A and B are shown apart, each in its own frame.
Chain A
Amino acid sequence: MAQRCAVTGVGQTRHDNKRIDVSQFGLVREAAIRALEDAELTWSDIDALVIGKAPDLFEGVMMPELFLAEALGGTGKPMLRVHTAGSVGGATAIVAASLVEAGVHERVLTVSYEKQSESNAMWALSIRVPFQQAVVAGAGGFFAPLIRSYMRRSGAPEDTGIRVALKDRRNALKNPYAHLRFPDITFEQIADSPMLWDPIRYLETCPSSDGACAMVLASESVAKRARRTPAWVHATAMRSEPTQFAGRDQVNPQAGKDCAKDLYAKAGISDPRREIDCAEIYVPFSWFEPMWLENLGFADDREGWRMTYEGVTALDGDLPVNMSGGVLSSNPIGASGMLRFAEAANQVRGLAGEHQIQGAQRALGHAYGGGSQYFSMWIVGSEPR
């Protein structure tokens, strides 16, 4: 039987497109200090560090965890680096939680980050490889055809994506850490924004952000002594599958479905739509909200768009999604998954500020990465399970 584990501290940076005021050290430090202060702990209380980020290529520093350890008080402590592409922020939190659940450590500090201003991650992975047709279309170019495929199979109204973007951009105005803020944003502004990769418009796309997120994962005995309410980890799950294979459903990947099914079984959830109070899911392009609602079992296949369309996923809907403004509003890639997990935790702690869902008791944090091929998820609750 695994030990109980809880989130007792959450911290994040102000996200922006260029945080040239800080080094990579300073960026992770800003998030970590806030998590420690929230948990009312000091560096010396921490037993181990788990650090995550997307490919080293994005900043051009090989194995940055080696030099980041001292900025995170890691001298003389176990330190581990996690990498699972865009899902890494979630996977990193899960590894940290596992160390507590396994009874190895009592207090683990987990930190993830990206400093996109040090390079151009949108194009970093779009290189010309010998003997292959070079698409060189960036991340949006990879996902646009999947979205078009979803639109065809679901018959969703063309403006579904615009509605998602409008909701998330309005939610971001309630989040002091969000990178993109468009006061008085309108449906028309999004609809009229340039078409970047058909059908993805500029304002339906995530930004490139510098930012970090940190959490303190603690054992039951530590969490019960915490002054602020902890978020109890009810279940975690990860799955992966290859980018391409014959018969792969890239729009609704099997790995994501399996991951969610496993997660709900571990958390004792039989009807996620009813039993989960709110969800932060990884939506870098607006249309991924309805796509993931189906993949996560919140809606039947081809029906996810109805939840968006009918306002179910709005802050005042019965399953609010991306209360923080989501990846559409802040995207420090390596940290983006952890930000989802952290928002879920703060919701059940009742500490989500202006975008708090009243009475949230059980929340989902979700991240995906690669070519929709890595999934990491957790369920957190206001009470131990």
Chain B
Amino acid sequence: MSDAAPGPAFSAHHVVEYTYRRSVGPVLGRFFTELRERRIVGIRRADGTVLVPPAEYDPDSGEALDEIVSVGPTGVVASWAWVRQPSAKHPLERPFAWALIRLDGADSSLLHAVDAGHESAMSTGMRVRPRWREATRGEIHDIECFEPEGAS
């Protein structure tokens, strides 16, 4: 065995980049198309409840779902967490809430940001409305965020 000190360990920066496309299918495709028109839709299950975002197949029974229904655009905050220091990747530059929002007419909650200005303005059960992006593209970020319904 050599008792010489080991040489420098080699390392290299290695970036693997790869591009993808996503085919969303007819149900989520409809959801995104409606967002572009500033409308929000869900899907009705056999028991009458409505899922938002819509699912192609019932999460319990596995049955195919096809009855698209309009929901919201307003709703209530079902649960939330305050983000004190937003990072560059967050949707808002100032403190905001991540919230589960139950849109009017829906039985499930949608995750989105709420711009309430201050944590003290947030509460479970508060009513919110979407703030739409100026140029919509057919994606979830067409809703910039939600804001308190009474806000000007």
Contacts and interface: CB of A to CB of B under 8 A. Distances in A.
Contacts of A22: 23, 25-26
Contacts of B21: 117-119
B12 A20 contact: no
B61 A73 contact: yes
Contacts, number: 68
Contacts of B55: 70
Contacts of A119: 18-21
Contact of B12 (A19, A43, A70, A130): A130
Given A43-B61, A73-B62, A130-B14, A25 B56 contact: yes
For chain A, the bracket of interface size reads 20 to 34
A128 to B, nearest CB: 8
A26 B23 CA distance: 10
A131 interface: yes
Interface in A110-147: 115, 117-119, 124, 127, 129-131
Interface string A229-247: 0000000000000000000
Task: Determine chain A's interface SS by DSSP, over half rule.
Answer: loop
A139 to B, nearest CB: 16
A165 interface: no
A179 interface: no
A297 B28 CA distance: 49
Interface residues of B, number: 26
A270 interface: no
A94 interface: no
Given A23-B28, A74-B62, A57 B23 contact: no
Given A70-B55, A129-B14, A130-B14, A75 B20 contact: no
A360 interface: no
A371 to B, nearest CB: 19
Contacts of B89: none
Contact of A23 (B10, B24, B58): B24
Nearest to B13: A130
B22 A75 contact: no
A183 interface: no
Interface of A: 18-26, 29, 43, 57, 59-60, 70-75, 115, 117-119, 124, 127, 129-131
Interface of B: 10, 12-14, 16, 18-28, 55-64
22 contacts: A18-B23, A19-B23, A23-B23, A23-B56, A29-B64, A43-B61, A59-B20, A70-B58, A70-B62, A71-B56, A71-B57, A71-B62, A73-B57, A74-B62, A75-B62, A115-B23, A117-B21, A118-B23, A119-B20, A130-B12, A130-B14, A131-B12
Given A43-B62, A60-B18, 14 more contacts: A21-B23, A24-B23, A26-B25, A29-B64, A70-B57, A70-B62, A71-B57, A71-B62, A75-B60, A75-B62, A117-B21, A118-B20, A119-B20, A124-B18
